[in-house]
Structure 1
């Protein structure tokens, strides 16, 4: 439960099923917003992860390649954060590295 997972996949909730947001209870996770899309589909995992108290963010697809975790880590800038992440003082516009550090520390 203490892991920080960087998926690089899109942040869309698959089939609208909250259980599919992430398989394991981790400390935090990050996705790519994939351009966000219609009805904010590219960030729809974030509220589902709030329900499990998992801090989650998306990075702006203009700052990192979709599907490339290394790109996310090196250049990703947070575009959206769920309430669990903002409770850790994660701020939109910060780097993904900053998010990972705050999540590991468990404080803002």
Structure 2
């Protein structure tokens, strides 16, 4: 069953979805917090919509950092992408990621927006939604 939760913040919308495969054009401009791993297949879903940013789970990073390689693919289109530590939030659970996720990996686009390793997801998302200075 598809589950999405929309949170309206001062600077924009956050959409929580347990799987990035639920992404639709309705999420254009939002920051999407997913429960999916941050591998290449997940990043390809994110490439289908223009997002303010996207959050994944690092899935333990895996061999050759396979769990976060999608972050770097998203850099090619300047889309900020973040992964949270698999020890901080359950894989496949966007609400847990939003409530408890701690940033473990970022791409250059996210770093340029002020996101740093060890931030909470909620703090990182605020950096992504805030208008550039």
> Which TM-score applies when normalising by structure 1?
0.91
1:85-107 per-residue CA deviation (whole Å, 9 max, x = no partner) reads 00011000000001111111044
- Pick aligned residue for 1:59 from 57, 80, 84: 84
How many correspondences in the alignment?
105
Larger Rg: 2
Written as runs of structure 1 = structure 2, the 5 A alignment for 1:52-91 is: 52-91=77-116
Superposition deviation, residue 34 in structure 1: 0.5
Q: Secondary structure at the match of 2:66?
A: helix
1:59-107 per-residue CA deviation (whole Å, 9 max, x = no partner) reads 0000000000000000000000000000011000000001111111044
Q: Distance in 2 between matches of 1:7 and 1:60?
A: 13
Q: Secondary structure at the match of 2:113?
A: coil
1:25 maps to what in 2? 50
2:5 maps to what in 1? none
Q: Secondary structure at the match of 2:95?
A: helix
Structure 1 segments, 4+ long, off by >4 Å, are none
Q: Secondary structure at the match of 2:88?
A: coil
> Which TM-score applies when normalising by structure 2?
0.74
2:59 maps to what in 1? 34
Q: Distance in 2 between matches of 1:85 and 1:46?
A: 9
Gaps of 5+ in 1: none
Q: Secondary structure at the match of 2:78?
A: coil
Q: Distance in 1 between matches of 2:74 and 2:91?
A: 20
Superposition deviation, residue 21 in structure 1: 4.8
2:117 maps to what in 1? 92
